[in-house]
Amino acid sequence: MSDDYYEVLGVSRDASADQIKKAYRKKAMKLHPDVAGPGSEEAFKKVQEAYEVLQDPQKRAVFDRGGDPNAAGGGFGDAGFGGGFDFTNLVDAMFGGGSPFGGSARGPKSRVRRGQDALVRMRLTLAEAAFGITKPLDIDTAVVCPRCHGKGAEKDSEPVTCTTCDGRGEVTTVERSFLGNIRTTQPCPTCRGYGTVIPNPCPECSGEGRVRTSRTINVKIPAGVADGNRIHLDSQGEVGPGGGPAGDLYVELVVAPHEVFRREGSDLEMAVSVPMTAAALGTTVAVQTLEADREDMDADQASVDVEIPAGTQSGTRIVVHGRGVPKLRGQGRGDLGVTLLVETPTKLNTKQRDLLRQLAEARDETETNASVHTTGSKGMFSRLKEAFGG
């Protein structure tokens, strides 16, 4: 194989670092002995050697000037094939600069990290969801340690450089194989990749820089929210390790069922019972609206007069415009649907029975004449089914 490293990787002489890495990844995966089989060791070694030179700006500069990058400090003096390779470099190139299992880039990692987002649920009444409210919410979360203020160390104590990894946050092991000396880099087991250790950790947080506690926040609920809606509160989640910035808090709303009203989008539905005589003669009834659940609402504002025409049948739905739920985007309110249930008396005294009998004789209804509704008509049962979501 050619000693021109650019030709070995199949890239131009002005190729960028990303182009070199992509080319190396492709070649290495194709020529690895575990993939290509016996006989590919020499070609794989050349690809590795080319990448070791071209990914290093200093070695690449020496090579571009016609010099020997290995003699200039590139260093391929290990046993085996006269080189060996860093297995971590191969993993980095194949998986985009980090572990294929989601690890971070090389080097010591910071003790200060952003906290996790949190999801909590808040129960609301239908009136609270409809008209909006500012409501306290108790949450169990992580906050900055009040003793060390996020530093993780006891007072007058500071983190010191880890002697195992000399502050690099990683350690390298070398194993000899038929490919040469394979170097593998992994987080330092002593400092867990931080590069420093805390000799005197804070007793309050055990060096974490944060503690768990309960706190209360006030959540503003806009008018018109519905069951399952979420409210996003920026930086109200858990404080991160090392006193890092807090994550976000998501409040999922759970709206309890109402004993009178049923919500359909921005509309409300309710059922009202009226006596048979009132339905026959017609009347006006005062119906309480959802405003009746609000403590700040006057009684006269919490009801509406509904006119019931004479001859109203059970299952009739009367619409009261603008007395439903306020729309979330501030575009008015929905409607209130009032479904009427005509009550037939079940207990009659003698006088009442005689009066009804006289009414039946006057209307020529002494004999039962039942009318059958066809399937194409919308009868009482269909209307009741629609009104109550059946």
Taking the C-alpha atoms of residue 83 and residue 85, their distance in angstroms, rounded to an integer, is: 7
| Annotated binding residue 240 | no
What is the maximum span of the chain, computed from C-alpha positions, in angstroms? 123
Quick one: three-class SS letters along the chain?
A: CCCCHHHHHCCCCCCCHHHHHHHHHHHHHHHCHHHHCCCCHHHHHHHHHHHHHHCCHHHHHHHHCCCCCHHHHHCCCCCCCCCCEEHHHHHHHHCCCCCCCCCCCCCCCCCCCCCCCEEEEEEECHHHHHHCEEEEEEEEEEEECCCCCCCCECCCCCCEECCCCCCCCEEEEEEEECCEEEEEEEECCCCCCCCEECCCECCCCCCCCEEEEEEEEEEEECCCCCCCCEEEECCCCCCEHHHECCCCEEEEEEECCCCCCEEECCEEEEEEEEEHHHHHHCEEEEEECHHHHCCCCCHHHCEEEEEECCCCCCCCEEEECCCCCECCCCCCECCEEEEEEEECCCCCCHHHHHHHHHHHHHCCCCCCCCCCCCCCCCCHHHHHHHHCCC
Question: How many Cα atoms sit within 13 Å of 19 on the Cβ side?
Answer: 9
Taking the C-alpha atoms of residue 273 and residue 283, their distance in angstroms, rounded to an integer, is: 13
| Annotated binding residue 145 | yes
| Annotated binding residue 188 | yes
| Annotated binding residue 236 | no
Instruction: Please report, in range form, the residues annotated as the binding site.
Output: 145, 148, 162, 165, 188, 191, 202, 205
Instruction: Please report, in range form, the residues annotated as the binding site for Zn(2+).
Output: 145, 148, 162, 165, 188, 191, 202, 205
